[in-house]
Each structure stands twice: as C-alpha cells, then as structure tokens.
A and B are shown apart, each in its own frame.
Chain A
Amino acid sequence: MTEYVWLVPFFPLVGVVINGVVGLRFPKSLIGLVGCITIFLSFLTSCLIFLELLTLPVESRVVEILLYKWIPCGDLQVHIGFLVDALSLVMMLTVSGVSFIIHVYSYGYMHDDPGVRRYFTYLNLFVFFMLVLVSANSFLLMFIGWEGVGLCSYLLIGFWYQNKAPADAGKKAFIVNRIGDYGFLLAIMLIYIVFGTLDFLPVFEKAPQLLRTGELTVTLITLLLFVGACGKSAQIPLYVWLPDAMEGPTPVSALIHAATMVTAGVYMVARCNILYSLAPLSMGVVAVIGALTALFTASIAMVTNDIKRVLAYSTISQLGYMFLACGVGAFTAGIFHLMTHAFFKALLFLCAGSVMHALSGELDMRKMGSLRSHLPITYLTFLIGCLAIAGFPFTAGFFSKDEILWEAFQANTLLWAIAAITAFMTAFYMFRAVFMTFYGESRMEPEVERHLHESPAVMTIPLIMLAILSVVGGYVGVPSLIAQGWNKFHDFLSPVLGGHGVQVVQETSGIAFATEVASHGVQELHHPAGLEWVMMAISVGIGLAGIFTAYYLYLKRPELPGRVAQQFKGLSHLLSHKYYVDEIYFAYVVTPVNIISTFLWKFFDDRVIDGAMVNGSAWVVKRVSSGVRRLQTGSVQHYALSLLVGLVVILYLIMER
C-alpha cells in the first residue's frame, strides 16, 4: 500500500480538477459531495498505509517512494517523491481526517453561499498542498506545498473579496508569510550548499558527520528554518496575520488557521529535529519564542470580545506551546499536542461557526448569552472542546499539555512557569467565552433572538465527531506514569523523533544521533515519580483555577470585570489594543516601506526610469534628428556632391598611405 502514497494528495487534486474545471454546471450539492468524497478517499488511503506500516518491523518504517525525476540538473537531483514514516503518517492522518470532517461541515455551512464551487475548489486545493507538504521527501517539494498552502490561505481568507476587510486580511497574511518564506528559502539554499542535496534522508544522515554541534552553519540553517516556521505558524514577531485571518469563512479558520496549515511550522521543526539537536542555540530560540508567544497572545485573548478572535489568539498561544515543546527537545510532545490541538481547536471553531450561524453572523460575545438551551449540541461540544484545551483531566488536551509542561519543567523552570501561567490564562479565556456565550443573561438583539435555531445535522454531526476525538484522541499517548506501556504515540514516533526530551543515543536506520538536551543544560535524568504526580496535579489545579476565576468574574459577579478594568486602566487598555503591535508595525515597518516605495515610485520610476531613461532617450533622438534632418534637402545634386566629397576623402586617405 505504501507505494500508493501518491494517491493521498492525488485525490484532493482530482476534486480540484472536477470542481474547478468541469464543475461549472454542477448543482451545489454535487460540488460539495465531490469535495467531501475526494478527501474521504485520501483519508482512507492514509489509514490503509498506516495499517500496513504497523505490520512492518520498527526499523523499516521509513519508506521513500520516488515518483518522477523532477529537476535533474547537474548535482541537484530533485524528485517528486514521498517519504512515508511515522511522522508524515501522523500528519497525513490528522490533516486528511480533520479536513474530511470540516468538509462535511462546510457542506452545511456554505450551502447558501453563491461561491460554493470556488470554496470547495480552494479547500480541496489546500488539502492537496498540505498533504504534499507533509508527505514530501525533500525540502524543495515541501516548499512547494508550503507556498501552496499559503496561496490557498490567501484565497480563502479573502473569499468574500467584495468586502474590504477580508481582502486586506488576505493580503496581510500573504505578505507576512512571505517574510517567513524568505527565511525558509535561504535555509534551503544553505542546506544545498552544505549537503549538496535537498532530500530529507541523505541530509539527516550526513548531518551528524558534516556538522559539529553548535557550529555556525547548522545554527544559521535552523534559525532560518525557524523564521519560516514563525511566518507559517504565527509566532512572534510574525503572528499578526492570524487574528485578521478570521475574516475568512469559519470552516476555513477551523481547517487552515487552526488545525492544519499553521501547524506546518511545528511539523517542519520536528522533521528537522536532527538538525535542531545539533544547534542548541536555535533550540533555545525556539523554546523562548514559543513560550513568549504563548504567554503574550494568551493575555490578549483574555480581553478580546470577538469569539473567533479569542480562538485565533488561543491558536497562536497553543502553537507557542508546540514550539516550546520542540525547543526543549520534546518533539514527540509537540507533535502530540499538534494532533490533539487539531481536534479540539477545529471543534471550537466549528462551534463558533454554529453559533454564528444561529445568530445571523454575530461574532461579539457581548451580544450573546444564555444560548445553552437554544443550542444544546453546540453548547455541549463547545464545552468539551474548552475542557480539552484547558487541560481538564482525561481529555485529549490534558495528556498533551501535561506532557509539554513536564518536559518544560525538566528543561528550565522559568519556561515552565511561563507555560503554567499561560495554561491558567487559557483556561480562563476559554471559559470566559463559554460563560459569555452560553450562560447568563441574554444580551442578544431581539431580531436575532427570534431567528435562533440549532444547526442542521450536517453541521452538528461533525461537531460530535470532533468532540469524541477531543476526548479519546489523547489516549494514544497516555503518559507511562499513569499506565505503563500505553504511550503508543511515543513508541510509534520515536524512530523519527528520537524519543523525547533528555534522551540517550538512539540507533535509527543507521543514524546515530545524540539528542543532548537542547537548550538549557542537562538536568538529572530521572526525577522521582512523585514529582511527576505533583506536577500533574499542579497543571490540573492551574486549569481548574482558571475555570473558577472565569466563573467567578463572568457568572457570579458579572459587574467585576468592568471594575477590574477600571482599576487597571493602563493594562486593560494595553491588552484591548493588543499591545499596539499592529500600530507599532504600521508605524515602524509599513510606513517606512510606504515612504520608500512612494519615493521609488514618484522619483525613481516616474523621474529616473520614465523621465530620464525612456522619455529622455526619445528626447535626445528627437533633438539630434531635427538638426540632422536638414541635411536631407531632397535635391539629388546635394547628395551627389556629398558622395563626391566622400569619395575624394577616401581616395586621399588611400593615397596617403
């Protein structure tokens, strides 16, 4: 089955061709059906490949399928090829599975939109590129997928391009991503210079021999790769595009800007874990940026009133968690959180979409309230999603988040403290959203309230499926502390990601790579089990404290938040303006660029190129010729005379010699 891995991205491409090229006359329901079925087929293929890979012995679970020689150019050989291993399979399963559920949801959500064909074409195209990204066998092919998902993200954010806000948001996302992609591209070039190849396997095989730990080259490569990851996965300082990306349709936010595309950076860092483990400095940068992003954006989410933006900031914050995990060397924990996050964040977004659907597009949580009885399924599933993200015991988020906190604690107490504060904030703002939306007094406008209705089954069934995944999805990675030998996720991924955290030398397909602890020095390897229990209890307690605070502030004493905001006027002002980051970027990045561009346009283009060079050369020719044309008298005798003069001169010159 593994040799058919190309089918996984191929099916969505078929959907694109059917819907995009011949779908013009299709009825809307058929277009949606094509979109869903093609994704389902690729999910099915991923499952079959997964089952086959499980039957193989652990050592041979890395299969490279070369389809076609794409760029044969001297030393540079790039194939259209696929790398099937544990990591890419986890990603393929997550991407195609979540995409399928969201496609089904979109079928209901987008049914009345006139652009439904365009929507499903773009969405299928996105899934195609995303699957190329995660299954590629070389940096260059990965980059193709990387750029492709960026393009689809742009197209889908600006899906309602008739309005200014979505169109601007699309452009912002595209431009900010471009900065990151530049870093990624430089990293690819550097990798080619150092290794002479772009394929993953040879690069990772040669890396320990060619590069010394902490060498400048490898640090530079990994930092540049991380710049790319920052752009795609919305980390400081390139996170500003993600909140604005919420202008797109809600299922798009769920799929692209929460569950799949934004995790591409985490996937890329995890894929290059061998390079990163050779560069302790880069690991430190990744961990610190991740932790800071998590804290920074979680604090913004606490005061945001737009339900989708709360989720957007929460996404950035959770992505920060994943990078924190990668940065402390716990790549498996990062990927684990990536997967569980895909489930519960997609769920939360789809619930928000369902709420919007019920409230005729209302996004402001101040105009909601007491929706619990009207939207029972949405309420329940949203609650499950919030419990999962808050790390409530025995939900998926509990296992993955706890693992990250534990790994962070082992690496550096300060990073752990930041992550723990973030966990508190996460629980707080998620339950703030729950209480503001589903509890308390109704603050809806009467017109909206009359049309209140639960979403149709085609939308609620995906919610239920994702809610189930948000609970049981974590049980593939139960920490060994609770149940010895149940951490199947680790066992599956360890050949690629080399176990977790502070690890020993591991032999993987002939590569011996020593993952020393990444950034902050080796702590003692074996903490007593009691400490781990205590840490687990602390993280649960933090989550519960966050939930309780939200309960107290928004349900018990609803007048308190306003008073608190009054008390700390400066701080609340700072938060509600998102730390003025957009304004700062506008003043110090956008405005200078605009000024320089205007200068180049008005002066260099208009004056120098158009004026001096284009029109100037024409002017010179005109002037010279208007003088010279007087020689052309029309009288043949004059011409003959000049001929004669010329002849005499030539003869004279010949004779002279």
Chain B
Amino acid sequence: MVPISHYLMVSVILFCIGVVGVFIRRNAIVIFMCIELMLNAANLAFIAFARHLNSMDGQIFVFFVMTVAAAEAAVGLGIMVALYRNRGTINVDDINLMKW
C-alpha cells in the first residue's frame, strides 16, 4: 500500500506548481488553470487523509470544493470574456486600472 506521505508529496508539488503559475504567468486563462491546479492539490490531500483516517468527511469536502471550482470557473470565464470584449486582451499586466 502506498503510504500517505507520497500522496501528500504529490499534493504539495501540484500546489506549488499552481502557486508559481499564478505568480509568473501573464495569461489570465493560464492563471485560472493554475488556481484549479491548487484546488485539486487540496482535493488530493483531502482524499488521502480521508482514506488514511477511514473517515468520509474529507471526501464530502472534496465534493464541495469541486462544486465551488465549477462555479468559479463559470464566473471567471465570464469575466474573462467580458474583459476580452472590452479591452481586446486578457494579459493581466494590461489589466491594472485599480491603482492610484
């Protein structure tokens, strides 16, 4: 049986890839996908612990996270489309109006 630390390691790696992606990528869609990556890293950790502790709680949380992620994707993509229509770009460096 694969020990829990392996699952967690994968989860951490996935999460870090997501974080780095969010920070360094300029394309809003890619940033978005990186966020999904972080969410799924969290999901993986949940599942691993649920299995390890023989508890259903973690698995139920995963459902919630997936629901939220789906809703977030819908809203986020909607924003993206609106942005592209208004400004002709989805490069986040160009979308920096909220400053002094």
Contact = CB atoms under 8 A, between A and B. Distances in A.
Contacts of A634: 96-99
Interface string A209-234: 00000000000000000000000000
A411 to B, nearest CB: 85
B23 A640 contact: yes
Interface in A604-653: 629-630, 632-637, 640-641, 644
Contacts of B23: 637, 640-641, 644
B98 to A, nearest CB: 5
B22 interface: yes
A644 B19 contact: yes
B31 to A, nearest CB: 8
B59 to A, nearest CB: 27
Contacts, number: 23
Interface size on B, as a range, is: 10 to 19
A643 to B, nearest CB: 11
Contacts of A636: 92
Contacts of A632: 98-100
Interface string A423-443: 000000000000000000000
Given A640-B23, A641-B23, A644-B19, A629 B100 contact: yes
A630 B96 CA distance: 13
Contact of B92 (A629, A635, A641): A635
A633 B93 CA distance: 10
B19 A635 contact: no
Nearest to A633: B99
Contact of B22 (A633, A635, A640): A640
B50 to A, nearest CB: 24
A633 B19 CA distance: 20
Interface string B58-100: 0000000000000000000000000000000000110011111
Instruction: For the complex of A and B, list the 7 residue pairs with the smallest distance between their C-beta atoms, beginning with the closest.
Output: A634-B99, A634-B96, A629-B100, A635-B96, A634-B98, A632-B99, A632-B100
23 contacts: A629-B100, A630-B100, A632-B98, A632-B99, A632-B100, A633-B96, A633-B99, A634-B96, A634-B97, A634-B98, A634-B99, A635-B92, A635-B93, A635-B96, A636-B92, A637-B22, A637-B23, A637-B92, A640-B22, A640-B23, A641-B23, A644-B19, A644-B23
Given A634-B97, A637-B23, A644-B23, 14 more contacts: A629-B100, A630-B100, A632-B98, A632-B99, A632-B100, A634-B98, A634-B99, A635-B92, A635-B93, A635-B96, A637-B22, A637-B92, A640-B23, A641-B23
